[in-house]
Structure formats: C-alpha cells, structure tokens
Chains A and B, each alone.
Chain A
Amino acid sequence: MIFRIIKKLELKELFDVMAENRIIGPVQKGTSHEGKPLYAFEPVLDFNDLKLDYTTTTRPAKRYFLPSHETLCTFSIHENGWDKSVDFNIREPHVFFGMHACDINALDKLDKVLLESNFPTPYYAAKRKNMFIIGVECNPQPFCFCRSMGTDSASHGFDMFLTDLGDRYFVEVQSAAAFNFLKNIKTREPEEKDHTRYMKVIAEKNRKFTTAVDTTDLAKILDMEFQSDVWKYWGDKCLSCGTCASVCPTCYCYGVEEAVDIDLKGAKKKKHLYSCNLIDFAEVAGGHNFRPESHSRLKYRYYHKHRGFMEEFEESLCVGCGRCSEACLAKITVPEVIASVRSGVKPKGRPGRHGK
C-alpha cells in the first residue's frame, strides 16, 4: 500500500485534473423541514459543490451501477422471427469522488453475487469495471451500525481513500490509475506526526458510533425465530412500499417486463429493481402468492440479508448504513427488528419511539 499526504487546497487541483472524466459525488440536494441538509450522489462539475464532509446520502450511488430501470435488450420483429440487440448501457468511466466505507463495502458484497458467482451479469460488470472510486472517511450518524456489520472501514474496493486530518488529507493509494492522477498535484510522504494524527482521527470517529446490532449467531437465531410473533408486529407496521430496498446499497433483486412497441415492429425487455416487501414479489403465474402477508415478506428480507447471504458468502448482505431505517416512514429499523427477534419481545408502543 502506498500512502501520501496532500494539502487540503490541493484537492481542488486533483478534482480539476480528474474533471476530464465524469465525476459523481455527494452534493446537497435539499434541506429537510427540520433544517438538515439532504445529500445525494450527483454529477459534479464544480469542486465547490462537492460536500466531502456529508453526513450520509439519502440514497446510495446505486443508480450508476444498478439503475432502477434498465433496458436489457431490444428486439426487432419480423414476420415469424426476431433479432435481438443487447446494450449494457454504459459509455464512459465514472469517477466516484467521496464514497464512505459502507458504500464501498456494499459494492464488494454486490460483486460477490453479481460478478464472482455463476452467471455473472454483464450489465453490472460493465458499469462496475468503469468505476474509479475515491473513498472518504465518514462521520458516524446516530443511525449507523456499520461497526456491528464489520463494514466501518474499507480495506479494498477503492482506488484511493481520503482521511481528513484537519489541514491535510491522508491518502491511501490502491491503484496505478490513482497514483498517476496524484502525479499531477503536490503530495508528500507521510511522516510520524501524520500517522499519529491519522490514528487519533480514526479513534475519534469510532467513538461516535452509538448504535449497535448484536450479530452473534444471527443466522441461526433467524432460523430459530422463524415463527416468532415479533415478525407479525413489524409486518403490521410495514407499508409494503419497497422504500427500504430502493435506498439499500446492496439490494439487487429485480423483475423483468417485456413490452411490444406501439408500432408492433419492435419489443423491449426491461429490468426494474424490485423489493421483496412488495405484495407480488413471490406471486406466480396463475395468481398463487407464496408470501401474501406483509410480515412474511418483511421476514424474508431479513432472512435473505442476514442468513441467506451469510450461508453463501460467509458475511451478511447488510452494511449497516442505516438508510432503510432513516427512510422508513413506519420507523422500522434494523437494530430494533433484530433486537426484538433476539429477545422475542415486541417494542412497547409505536416502533421507533424508544431508544431514540
């Protein structure tokens, strides 16, 4: 591993050097009615728009590598036959400037199922292989529980990683491309004082985590508590709206829909990201629904994240970013759901009101 120190002011230079490419980064998209800034990953043209000290983005950068809607292929139709043309829907590399460790780890998890398993998907691969990632050390929020999921730091899956040391950045360099970019600006070797400062900053960060999830034997406990009443309690709250999956950096499930063009001379096969909480997720042709109740769908979601993926890849599919908890209007939060499944005790009153 190569480490470098760059002065804060140099970062703009780096940005400008990279600006020959399309840069995606955290920007402020709005302000909540409580006055909190709302951040999103958007294309950035001006360095000043880039908010590297962002809390979290309400949505992951997923749309750039797993878009919510994607045309998988188009058909041209002739009398009894057809021709198919496939497009992976990517034209140029993207620089992701300022991803937190949880989101970088999320990509690593997605890689396991979408790239490294049987039947790798080229739609994801094409976008993933064209990502240049600059990580940035985060600022833990009350809803973050990445530390419990082991995703609070990223050891790989980025080109370069920045840690703010006050007047300078500590830079981890992991790719030749990143090293080449850095040649354009002034950098120096880190010294002992930089190391000390770095470790102090990380310790400070770690002190900020307030939410934890006990994941001990979680896969087994989910199996044991499959019939628990607690699921029903959460299911009654659930709106079955799919927002948790939409904001999840690792939810990848989808549905395919085919449609004939209105001129009947062509057709399209479209993929749209789905959510296992939606009513017809497990409905089959003929109408039978394997999970008609909302609690069975909600349970399945936890089951897949924390047990199924664990069984397959020996890690959970959840990175503990807490976005789903923040986005859920019914205030169904992962730490509370897991705690209640472990204890078998339903939260008192309406969920989300205690422990906050």
Chain B
Amino acid sequence: MPVESYLGVPLHRPKVAFFEFTACEGCQLQILNNEATLLDFLSLVDVVTFREAMSERSDDFEIAFVEGSITRADEVKRLKDIRKKAKVLVAMGSCACFGGVNQLKNRFNDPKWVKEQVYGKFPVESEEARPLEDIVTVDLKIYGCPIKKEEVEKIVTNLVLGKSVNHPKYPVCMECMANENICLYKLGEPCLGPVTRAGCDAWCPGSRFGCWGCRGPADAANVDQIISIMEEHNFSADTIIDRLECFGGFKAFAEELKKKTAKSKTKKKRAGK
C-alpha cells in the first residue's frame, strides 16, 4: 500500500516516464540496479513508460526523465513532443545535461569527417551532439555519468514530498576529504574535483581515479585557478583540455584554453622561425 500522506500533508503519486536519446542507457540501468529499494521507489511513483524495464507505455505522464544527448532531427521532434506532455522535464545524466561523452565529436568541427570515420559509407544521420537545454526548457538536472541511484531516490522522494531539490553547491573535494582519500594531486594525478559539483561521494577519486568533471562546474568554481594549478603540476595543455572537454560541462573553459594554447603555439612557432 503506497503511503498517502506525510505528517498530515497529502502526497501525490506522480505518473513518470523514462526516455532515452543518444546515450548508453546506463543512467536508467542505475535506477533498476538498486534492488534493495526498488520496490519502495516504485511505490513512490507511478511509472507509465520505461522501455528498459517494462513493455507497457503511455503518453499520460507528469514527470519525464530524459537520458541522452540530441544528435538527430527526429530526436529534436520527439523531445519537443515530450516537453509538451510533461509538467516537469528532468535531464538525467551528463549526456542530457551537457551533451556528455557524445559531444566530444563536436571538437573536430567537421561533422562530415567524423561521420565518415565512424560509420564509413553506412547511411546514418548524425549531427552535432547537443544537451537537452539547447532545444527545450529543462526543469531539473540530475548530474553524473552515470547518475547516482541514491541521489535519484532522494530527488524523487523530495519531488513527492514537494521538497525542492538542492544539489550540493560545493565541489567534489568536500566529499573526497570526508572519505579520507589521499588528494590525487599528491599522487601526481590530474583531477577536476576542486571545481566539479559534488553529489557523487567522490566516486572516482575514491578509486584513485582523477575526476573528469562529469557533473559539471560547482557554484563558484574557480576554473581558471585549477587550470593554473594543473599547469604548475606540469600537466600539458592537451591533458587539461581533454579533461575539461570530456563531458561538456566545462565546454566554455575548454574552448577558451584551446584558443589560448593555439595562440601561444603560433607565437612559439613564429619565435622559432
């Protein structure tokens, strides 16, 4: 029996639907992964569409959880259609929030060449990878590649209770330190933890794997400073750009650094001549 109220405040069991675009569907799998709480999760909401988990589907939903980036014209149309039907549209995961790993193909600035390299002559439509926000209004973002199931559960519980969803504003360092990890810079590894939004419980740094910024910048992220710090630690411009560019959350900073690096390279070349 689903609980009807919380401390006298009636609860509303929203109809939710899950959708995927260009993505690995790993975020949706994360939700199904939590067997211990899956039943509780399912009694909080009324899932009407979830291709990865059930065969029924319905167009009558209030909350749409959307995974993936947008890379084709038909996806644009479908996303706009979902937006029309959903009261709340949730961008779920790095691809939906920032373009994710998919947007790495945008770095080549030559979509035709990329398509040829990947698909050869096979007739596939594939344009630039874009985050949902480029096309429709996004009400809520769930960060991460993949998303963290505990966080999704918290967010959905809050939605049902009418509590607002407050992402941590501070960077991953807080969680990394709380877990007593050794700072990866001490071990000679680059890490975007000091500027990336927390909420992942320092998943990667905890496994001695530097942060790649999948959750995008924290509030007040001092990215210029972390770039200088990485330079001081003798990480190459390419290493830094690769990190900033990987998930799309730090795209603007990566672009700026690229321009700067290109400039200094031409300078060096000229000086060399």
Contact = CB atoms under 8 A, between A and B. Distances in A.
Chains A and B touch each other in the complex, with CB atoms below 8 Å apart: yes
Interface of A: 29-30, 32-33, 38, 40, 58-59, 63, 68-69, 77, 79-82, 236-243, 246-247, 259-265, 272-273, 275, 278-280, 294, 327, 329-330, 350
B54 interface: no
Contacts, number: 121
Given A239-B195, A329-B185, A259 B157 contact: yes
Contacts of A239: 171, 173, 194-195, 222, 225-226
Given A33-B187, A264-B3, A350-B228, A58 B174 contact: no
B271 interface: no
A40 B154 CA distance: 33
Interface in B220-251: 220-222, 225-226, 228-229, 232
A38 B222 contact: no
Contacts of B220: 240, 279, 294
Given A240-B220, A294-B220, A279 B170 contact: yes
Contacts of B219: 279-280
Which of A81, A259, A278: most chain B Cβ within 10 A? A278
Interface residues of B, number: 44
Contacts of B11: 264
Contacts of A30: 182, 186-187
Contacts of A240: 170-171, 218, 220-222
Given A77-B6, A327-B183, A262 B174 contact: no
B153 interface: yes
Closest 4 CB pairs of A and B: A33-B188, A246-B177, A68-B178, A241-B173
Contact of A262 (B6, B44, B232): B44
Contacts of A236: 222, 225
Nearest to B170: A278
A285 to B, nearest CB: 11
Contacts of A280: 169-170, 219
Contact of A241 (B41, B161, B174, B187): B174
5 contacts: A40-B180, A240-B218, A241-B173, A260-B157, A294-B222
Interface in B169-201: 169-171, 173-174, 177-178, 180, 182-183, 185-188, 193-195
A264 B40 CA distance: 9
